[in-house]
Amino acid sequence: TGCTKTRVDSMILTVRTLPAINTTNDTLICFSDTLQLNTTGTGSFVWTPNYMISNTNIASPLVSPDVPTTYYVRLTDSFGCFQDDSIYIDVRTSVSVSAGADTTICRTDAIVLNPVSDALYYQWTPATYLDFDNIKNPVATPLTNITYTVVGSIGSCVGQDDISINVVP
């Protein structure tokens, strides 16, 4: 009958930030190898898919996929907030390594060794006259004729090739 009543309510709303998560970068593995995923964050973890993984509820499970696989992880904090991340694991059955064509250089020249390869790690032998023996593209400054062998690897998958450098005065 013309009377009104006004009611005022208030509420405190807390906006929380998403939990911080940091996961291993995408990588390669050999089909016969096992890789430990490393994820940091505070809360509970759930990994999917449940394929060739040691435990789907821990931060750093072991995985051994035999085909390329993307693993997804969800970190949920104590407030129910969650953040997702993923890691793509490309799986190789072999490593290809081509050290390049044999070449000739002058005695005082340097040459950058430039193998064509899909390996992750490299080891050159002998290490003589190389600036580094464990990188993909070392600089060689040989004083005499030499043959270098490069071994490229992805876990237990290994490939190798040779390159001969003829040194002339």
pTM (predicted TM-score): 0.75
Task: Answer yes or no: are the C-beta atoms of 153 and 121 closer than 8 Å.
Answer: yes
Task: Answer yes or no: are the C-beta atoms of 39 and 45 closer than 8 Å.
Answer: yes
pLDDT, tens digit, 9 for 90 and up, residues 66-107: 999 999 999 999 999 999 999 999 999 999 999 999 999 999
Question: In angstroms, rounded to a whole number, what is the distance separating the alpha carbons of residues 25 and 39?
Answer: 10
